[in-house]
Chain A
Amino acid sequence: MSIEVLQMFISAALIVSGVFFVLAGSIGIIRLPDFYTRMHAAGMTDTLGAELVILGLMVQSGFTQTSLKLLLIAFFLFLTSPTASHAVANAAHQAGLKPLLGHFRAPNPGEAVVEEEEEH
């Protein structure tokens, strides 16, 4: 088995698994009940899926300039994608959106820190 064939198989496996994660995230966005769980599905799978797809493309292109550019894209995606998810979820929490969770109710933002305050 030559190196090209091996390269192709590895990259195909990586890309297919990446696509699987992205698909799982998309199904999660549609099926899950509330904002935070959807954010969980979208944020985590999106980062991992995109990283896997880019890794597969890198394997396919070998040691070239294209590979270097893909590595940079992967690096920036690795930084920005979780940050964006964090920012969105954090903004929702700050705005007072409660997660949908049986009997448990999350405390209002600020209430957890200053418990004596009877503002609300």
Chain B
Amino acid sequence: MSPHLVLRVVAKMLIPLIALFAFYVQFHGDFGPGGGFQAGVILAAGIILYALVFGIDAAKKAVPPSWIRIGMSFGVLLYGGTGVATWMLGGNFLDYTQFAPESTHAAGQHWGIFAVELGVFCTVTCAMLAIFYAFGSRTPELSDEDW
């Protein structure tokens, strides 16, 4: 029997909830504390917990390293692309009002903040996971006696 049985059962219960909380923080950031950065870190922490309990190879199957390379760049491109889109619509860089100029309750601002926070979320999650994968993959399998 694995000595980590209790850890695995509890982690299996908690990791979906951690991911759910990350998305709550992401999409509720306009109304409460939180935003893309915090949500990205929380989601990455959930995946790192999975890697610590079930092994880094299992985590790499769940979140392949190729996704991380793509996601990291996609986030920055989404942020920059929002700015370029506001250029194209005739405003300044990152001037979100251009998305809905006639809106009376600043819908353009809401769309802009949503896109930008999503970009931050992607980049932060993937960068944190990239750093963890890079460090974690270099460590040889430690037997517990080595501590």
Contacts and interface: CB of A to CB of B under 8 A. Distances in A.
A79 B144 contact: no
Interface residues of B, number: 11
Interface residues of A, number: 12
Interface string B1-24: 001101100100110010000000
Contact of A87 (B7, B13, B145, B147): B7
- The secondary-structure label for the interface of chain B is helix
A79 B6 contact: no
A80 B10 contact: yes
Contacts of B7: 83, 86-87
A107 interface: no
Contacts of A86: 6-7
Interface stretch (A21-29, A33-41, A91-99): A91-99
A4 to B, nearest CB: 29
B13 A79 contact: yes
Given A91-B147, A94-B145, A96-B145, 4 more contacts: A79-B10, A87-B4, A87-B6, A87-B7
Interface of B: 3-4, 6-7, 10, 13-14, 17, 144-145, 147
